[in-house]
Each structure stands twice: as structure tokens, then as C-alpha cells.
Homo-oligomer: A and B are copies of this chain.
Amino acid sequence: MVIFDEELAALKEKILKMGLLVDAAVRDSIKSLVERDSGLAREVIRRDREINACDVGIDEEGVRLIALRQPKAHDLRFLITAMKITTDLERMGDLAEDIAERAIELNEEPPLKPYIDIPRMAGIARGMLVDVLDAFIRKDAAAAYDVIKRDDEVDGLTVQIFNELLFFMIQDPRATSRAVKITYLSKYLERIADHATNIAEMVVYMVEGKMIKHMKP
């Protein structure tokens, strides 16, 4: 079925495109924070519609292909994985929007301290996203396992950021509102990394046919 192969390739292309839009949203939401550029933050919020449109399009195409082509084993797993991945990507887009909203609020107040760990965390999360998309496209389970491993680093940074900000809050109650918002930023990034991990687990499922998502101790 040459046509079906082309349809699958086109769907893959759409998921990759959606993933790159999400990556750009995360990148720009962090940039809007670091550079105190609320105009850019508002652009991230506006652009979320494009991501949502991709999500609906991929879902509908997935259902259509399953109904029409009645795929078996391998292709069926690919299509179901694609439709699950799109849910995670869409929520990552929402989280970039959340970051942009907090950035706008934080930009209206004096800076608490230079942002160092937050951009670092964002860098790791974005690396996980780009690598897991690549693993999906290339059907590379080993690369997906590598993404899963990096999630611990992000979790460690979340704890570190929380403790550091707690110190700020206790020293200066006027810093509290801002500091709490920055802990939220780290939580959003932690969840973006979690979604990348979910996708990685689904890629393993797609390639190896086994569910590993609940195997962490």
C-alpha cells in the first residue's frame, strides 16, 4: 500500500512540525522571562492556537487512517502512539503558555535575581523534547531510553530551585510573591520534561511492543 505509506509519512511530518512549534514556544517563553520581553510572551500565548490546531488535525487523521486502512500490529501501534503523543505535545504547549503568563507578571516587578537555573532546566527539557521527537521519527528505542534517564536531572533541579527560593522568601518577605512564581516556573518545566518522558515511554512501546511506563521504582 504505497498510498498508506505516504499517509503515514505525512502524519509523521505533522507530528514533527507540531513538536517544533512546541519547542519554539518553550524557548520563547523562557526568552521572554530572561529578557523581560512581555511582547514576546504575549506572542507565545497567541501562537498556542497553531499548536492546538495541529493536535486536532493529527487526531482526526489518525482516526481516519485506522478506520480506512485497518492497519495491523506495527502500523496500528504507530497510529495509536501518534495520537497519544499529540496529547502530550499539546499539554507541553499549554505549559509554555503558563510560563509566558508568569513571565508577564514577573516582568512587571523588579528582578529578584538573574535567572540561571530556570534557563538551564529549560535547556534540558527542550533537549529531551527534540531528542524524543527524533527517536519517534527514527523508531529508535535506545534514544528514547536515554531521554527517560535525563528526567532525574530535571527533578533534581526542581528541588534545588525550591530550596534556594525558600531562602529568599524567608530572608525578605517582600520577595515572596515573586519567589513563589519562580518555583511555579520550575514546576512547569518539570512537567514539560515529564511529558517528554511520557512520549519516550510510548516510543519504546511502539518500537518494542512493551509498556515500560510504570517500571520506575
Known: A83-B80, A176-B176. A214 touches B52 (CB 8 A): yes
Cβ-defined contact, A66 with B66, below 8 A: yes
Chain B residue with Cβ nearest A59: B211
Q: B76 near A67 (CB under 8 angstroms)?
A: yes
One of A5-13, A109-117, A121-129, A166-174 at the interface: A166-174
Classify the interface of chain A: helix, strand, loop or mixed.
helix
Roughly how many angstroms separate A77 CA and B64 CA in the complex, as a whole number? 10
Partner of A67, one of B49, B72, B171, B180: B72
Task: List residues of chain B with CB within 8 A of the CB of A55.
Answer: 213-214
Chain A: residues with Cβ within 8 Å of the partner, total of 36
Residue numbers in B under 8 Å from A173 (CB-CB): 169-171, 173
CA A214 – CA B170 in complex, angstroms? 40
In the assembled complex, A17 has its CB within 8 A of some CB on chain B: no
Tell me, in angstroms, the Cα distance from A80 to B58 when the chains sit together: 13
Does A142 count as interface, using CB distance less than 8 angstroms?
Answer: no
Separation of A32 and B55 alpha carbons in the complex (Å): 38
Residues of B near A63 (CB, < 8 A) are 76-77, 80
Which residues of A, 50-86, contact B by the 8 Å Cβ criterion? 52-53, 55-56, 59-60, 62-63, 66-67, 70, 72-73, 76-77, 80, 83-84
CA distance A160 to B66 in the complex (A): 45
For A180, give its contact among B62, B66, B77, B180 (CB under 8 Å). Answer: B180
Tell me which residues across on chain B come within 8 A of A60, comparing CB atoms: 211
List of B residues within 8 angstroms of A53 by Cβ: 214
What's the minimum C-beta distance from A187 to chain B, rounded to whole angstroms?
A: 7
Give per-residue flags for A143-169: 1 if the beta carbon is below 8 A from chain B beta carbons, else 0: 000000000000000000010001001
Interface residues of A in 160-217 (CB under 8 A from B): 162, 166, 169-171, 173-174, 176-177, 180, 183-184, 187, 211, 213-214
